[in-house]
Amino acid sequence: MCRYLRQNQVRASILFIGGFTNSIDGYESQFLQKVKALDLERAVFVTGYVERTAELFALLECADLFLYLFPEGLTTRRSSVLTSIEAGRPVLVSDPACASEVAHHPGYRALIHDGAVQLISRDAALSQIADAVVQAASQGSIARRVDFEAWWDLAAASVSGVLSFGDGGPMRAEQKIE
């Protein structure tokens, strides 16, 4: 996306907040080789591990928007999406693979309705994604706060529903889930 935008005269850059895990798969090396092959060394920034919350949010505030192109689309389990919303910038994310993924979640439904979270088709062409990025970047900051207490209550109720049986009683350790 960054290369496409730059080729179309949009000054874009990518900020990866965090670092690479020490692994034998060579992912960090492959990543840096890909950045070099795309001629994006001056446009891609990797912060490394960020320990303090204040530093994390200072970095998040540097972004104009957040773009997440997940193969499975948006899920309610994506903490990165929630953190990005808290930074007050538009969040563009691929639409859920399953339409009911966020249908049960009033918080996500509200964020999508208000435009704080903007869904992009998982089948969208690069030019369509680029148009959405440019449009969202022009919006500037979005004042959205996530009511984490309400979201945790919703999650707890959901887990409680899974762990309860038809008679309303809690599941005992010796019971099997089939």
B/e letters for 91-113, b = 16+ CB within 10 Å, e = fewer, are bbbbbbeeeebbeebebbeebbe
Task: Supply the pLDDT for residue 162.
Answer: 58
Task: Supply the pLDDT for residue 88.
Answer: 85
Task: State how far the Cα of 5 lies from the Cα of 9, in Å rounded to an integer.
Answer: 6
Q: Which of 76, 67, 125, 126 is nearest to 97 (CA)?
A: 76
The rounded radius of gyration (Å) of the Cα atoms in the chain is 19
pLDDT in tens, 79-98: 888 888 888 889 999 999 98
Task: Supply the pLDDT for residue 163.
Answer: 61
pLDDT in tens, 146-165: 777 877 777 677 666 656 55
**CB-count exposure of residue 136 (10 Å: 0-12, 13-18, 19+):** buried
Which residue would you say has higher pLDDT here, 108 or 158? 108
Domain ranges of the chain: 1-62, 64-178
Task: Supply the pLDDT for residue 168.
Answer: 53
Task: Supply the pLDDT for residue 15.
Answer: 94
Task: Supply the pLDDT for residue 147.
Answer: 76
**CB-count exposure of residue 25 (10 Å: 0-12, 13-18, 19+):** exposed
Task: Supply the pLDDT for residue 83.
Answer: 80
pLDDT in tens, 43-86: 999 999 999 989 988 998 889 999 999 999 998 878 888 888 88
Task: Supply the pLDDT for residue 119.
Answer: 96
- Mean pLDDT in the chain? 85
Task: Supply the pLDDT for residue 175.
Answer: 47
Lowest mean pLDDT among 68-82, 134-148, 164-178: 164-178
Helices then strands, counting H and E runs in the chain, come out as 7, 5
